[in-house]
């Protein structure tokens, strides 16, 4: 993301902390142009622009106010406070939706489909027995759900030997993805890489599974290993980050759908 300037506020890039230069963040209706009828976030009366100089405009009032809330809380809520891109998760997802997904939806569909062959739920352990049993109990039902709801059967394997899903399967998954709106694709663009599971991502955006449960299912291996061998601070931090990212993407989509 581009640097922020007081003349044209934009989300910060990289991971470095920046100083908040505004006093208030507000929502304003966007009038005129292709994005008329939406809502934009203003910092001290100036609209936020994305890295490509596009205005940060969304069409759901609830989402717009949530975005403004992020900016209002950034830097501790006071001018001069330090903040990073991590303080603006919904803004980051909205920016991806506006500047990357909307202009080229097929690129996002193609990127998401790449996770089909490496679908987490399709790679089963051969040991220990506890993990094998838990995978059968918690992973298999979601593959069954995909088959029952969409008529799609994914190939599975044991161990790490790579598998390739059939062209028909990939085509059917692609059709599902192409039927989603930009906000849903943006949410999947966060969830699927985080969980390494296209199936769980689809389950969340369709309401078949909530975000917290999906994150638990996606981290079954890691949690079982820690249960057997002991907890690890780095691993726990990774699991917390995964859960937060999935929750943020789910929240973004829920807000975008409120209208």
Whether residue 108 contacts residue 98, with contact meaning beta carbons closer than 8 Å, is answered with: no
Given 62, 88, 114, which residue is the final one in a domain?
88
Residues 42 and 114 in one domain: no
Q: Give the pLDDT band (50/70/90) at residue 35.
A: low
Phi, psi of 28, deg, nearest 5? -135, 140
Given 88, 117, 142, which residue is the final one in a domain?
88
In a domain, 227, yes or no: yes
Domain enclosing residue 52, as ranges: 18-88
pTM value is 0.92
Q: How many structural domains is the chain composed of?
A: 2
Residues 60 and 160 in one domain: no
50-91: per-residue pLDDT in tens? 989 999 999 999 999 999 999 999 999 999 999 999 999 999
Q: Which has the closest alpha carbon to 187: 113, 92, 103, 106?
A: 92
In a domain, 48, yes or no: yes
Q: Give the pLDDT band (50/70/90) at residue 4.
A: very low
In a domain, 136, yes or no: yes
DSSP 51-118: TTS-B-EES-HHHHHHHHHHHHHGGGGSTT-EE-GGG-HHHHHHHHIIIIITT-HHHHHHHHHTTTTT
Q: CB count, 10 Å around CB of 98?
A: 20
118-171: per-residue pLDDT in tens? 999 999 999 999 999 999 999 999 999 999 999 999 999 998 788 999 999 999
The angle, 0 to 180 degrees and rounded to 10, between the axes of the packed helices 105-113 and 198-205 is 130
Which residue matches tokens 């097929």? 106
């Amino acid at each position: 993301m581009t640097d922020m300037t007081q003349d044209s506020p934009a989300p910060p890039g990289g991971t470095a902390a920046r100083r908040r230069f505004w006093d208030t963040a507000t929502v304003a209706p966007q009038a005129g142009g292709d994005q008329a009828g939406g809502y934009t976030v203003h910092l001290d009366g100036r609209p936020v622009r994305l890295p490509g100089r596009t205005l940060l405009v969304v069409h759901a009032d609830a989402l717009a106010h949530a975005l403004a809330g992020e900016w209002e809380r950034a830097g501790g809520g006071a001018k001069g406070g330090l903040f990073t891109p991590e303080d603006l998760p919904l803004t980051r997802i909205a920016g991806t939706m506006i500047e990357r997904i909307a202009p080229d939806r097929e690129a996002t569909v193609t990127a998401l489909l790449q996770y089909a062959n490496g679908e987490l739920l399709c790679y089963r352990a051969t040991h220990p027995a506890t993990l094998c049993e838990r995978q059968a109990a918690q992973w298999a039902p979601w593959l069954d759900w995909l088959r029952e709801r969409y008529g799609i059967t994914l190939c599975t394997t044991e161990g790490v030997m790579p598998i390739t899903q059939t062209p028909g399967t990939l085509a059917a998954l692609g059709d599902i993805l192409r039927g989603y709106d930009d906000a849903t694709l943006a949410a999947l663009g966060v969830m699927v890489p985080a969980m390494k599971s296209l199936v769980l991502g689809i389950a969340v955006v369709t309401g078949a599974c909530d975000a917290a449960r999906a994150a638990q299912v996606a981290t079954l291996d890691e949690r079982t290993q820690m249960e057997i061998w002991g907890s690890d601070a780095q691993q726990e931090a990774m699991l917390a980050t995964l859960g937060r990212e999935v929750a943020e993407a789910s929240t973004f989509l829920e807000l975008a759908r409120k209208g």
